[in-house]
């Protein structure tokens, strides 16, 4: 995805690219400073008297920003933002604003010039590689808007605007926007548990969010989450044990079976054929019988699943993680597609330590 800032200029005589490019940065700066000056908030390290004092003035020319230069022809004046007591040096200024704008990412910025003209800057996303054609995209948005309108009973224009925004953001991050076709009163508790674990969200933070959004939003209470997590931990693919030196899954076979079942149910299971010495794929010709080989290598030409087993060292704590993944999926090395088999002490290059690890 290619992110570009485009100016939807109200006045066409200023809309040539070179002028836009020149004017954009000072206008952006002036707008941001105007906003920050209009809503002053005391900096924690700043005394109350200092925050109450009027901010220092800083003039920004159209092209460059030397501190002592005169004001621009438009008379733009830049106020020192809250928390910055001295004007930053010219070299640091652009980096400072860029950092702030990248952190806040405002969707739309309006700059009012002294002559009363208003110019709007809006961030637009241009997909570098659209998944579908524009006509099909419009049809999909229309279909999704109609479906969501039926569920929520809101104004079609409001829904369309929301769907446009959702699709734009999804295209930006390379995801797929999904609209529900039936009303959902609440997210499933298991999904919430999975979200908490996947994103390392603490229980306290989740409950704060729940109280913020009201319990009617459908977020589960602490007790329900605990009960669901206990249920999940007791399921065979998730049961873990310890041996004093590490923690590991008691049934990696069940975990892998669950992974494959999930992939098959979602139609994400990919056949990976074995390759011969000449690089050609060996087609499946015979069925596999259990009597063939519990201990020896399965012969080529039988249907198989390919499983990777490996160790990775790293993380906040110095540990090594035994990871299992399946090659029969599109992104085998993606973290979400792997199974954490166990967490062990970090000595993974010592044969005795590995032997103790392998004994589980």
The residues of the shown chain that bind another protein, judged by CB under 8 A, are 260, 264, 269, 272, 274-275, 278-280, 287-290, 292-293, 297-298, 302-312, 314-316, 327, 330-333, 348-351, 354-355, 358
CB of 281 to another protein, least distance (A): 8
Tell me how far apart the alpha carbons of residues 313 and 113 are, in angstroms, rounded to a whole number. 57
What residues have CB less than 8 Å from 222, skipping those under 6 apart?
Answer: 203, 207
By C-beta, is 177 or 354 nearer to another protein? 354
By C-beta, is 130 or 310 nearer to another protein? 310
What residues have CB less than 8 Å from 360, skipping those under 6 apart?
Answer: 241, 243, 246, 248, 342
Tell me how far apart the alpha carbons of residues 352 and 344 are, in angstroms, rounded to a whole number. 13
Phi/psi for 341 (5° steps) reads -75, -40
By C-beta, is 232 or 353 nearer to another protein? 353
CB of 355 to another protein, least distance (A): 6
CB of 141 to another protein, least distance (A): 30
Phi/psi for 195 (5° steps) reads -60, -45
What residues have CB less than 8 Å from 262, skipping those under 6 apart?
Answer: none
By C-beta, is 19 or 258 nearer to another protein? 258
CB of 320 to another protein, least distance (A): 8
CB of 118 to another protein, least distance (A): 36
Tell me how far apart the alpha carbons of residues 174 and 169 are, in angstroms, rounded to a whole number. 8
By C-beta, is 35 or 272 nearer to another protein? 272
What ranges make up the beta strands (E) of 98-216? Answer: 108-112, 118-126
CB of 217 to another protein, least distance (A): 29
- Is-contact 163 170, C-beta < 8 A? no
By C-beta, is 71 or 345 nearer to another protein? 345
């Amino acid at each position: 995805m290619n992110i570009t800032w485009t100016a939807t200029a109200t006045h066409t005589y200023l809309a040539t690219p070179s002028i836009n490019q020149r004017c954009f940065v000072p206008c952006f700066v002036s707008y941001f400073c105007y906003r920050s000056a209009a809503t002053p908030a005391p900096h924690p390290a700043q005394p109350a008297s200092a925050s109450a004092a009027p901010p220092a003035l800083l003039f920004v020319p159209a092209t460059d920003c030397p501190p002592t230069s005169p004001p621009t022809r438009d008379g733009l004046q830049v106020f020192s933002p809250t928390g910055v007591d001295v004007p930053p040096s010219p070299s640091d200024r652009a980096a400072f604003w860029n950092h702030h704008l990248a952190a806040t990412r405002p969707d739309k910025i309006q700059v009012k010039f002294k002559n009363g003209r208003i110019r709007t800057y809006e961030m637009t996303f241009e997909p570098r590689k659209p998944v579908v054609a524009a006509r099909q995209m419009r049809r999909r948005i229309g279909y999704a808007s109609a479906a969501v309108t039926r569920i929520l009973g809101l104004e079609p224009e409001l829904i369309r605007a929301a769907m446009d925004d959702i699709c734009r953001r999804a295209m930006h991050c390379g995801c797929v926007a999904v609209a529900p076709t039936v009303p959902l009163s609440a997210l499933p508790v298991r999904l919430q548990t999975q979200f908490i674990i996947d994103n390392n969200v603490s229980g306290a933070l989740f409950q704060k969010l729940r109280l913020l959004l009201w319990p009617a939003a459908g977020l589960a209470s602490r007790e329900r989450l605990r009960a669901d997590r206990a249920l999940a931990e007791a399921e065979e693919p998730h049961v873990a044990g310890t041996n004093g030196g590490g923690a590991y899954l008691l049934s990696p076979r069940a975990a892998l079976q669950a992974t494959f079942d999930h992939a098959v149910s979602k139609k994400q299971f990919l056949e990976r054929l074995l390759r011969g010495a000449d690089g050609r794929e060996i087609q499946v010709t015979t069925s596999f019988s259990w009597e063939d080989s519990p201990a020896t290598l399965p012969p080529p030409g039988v249907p198989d699943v390919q499983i990777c087993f490996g160790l990775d060292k790293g993380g906040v704590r110095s540990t090594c993680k035994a990871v299992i993944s399946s090659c029969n999926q599109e992104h085998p090395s993606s973290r979400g597609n792997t199974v954490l088999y166990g967490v062990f002490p970090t000595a993974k290059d010592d044969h005795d330590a590995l032997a103790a690890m392998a004994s589980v």
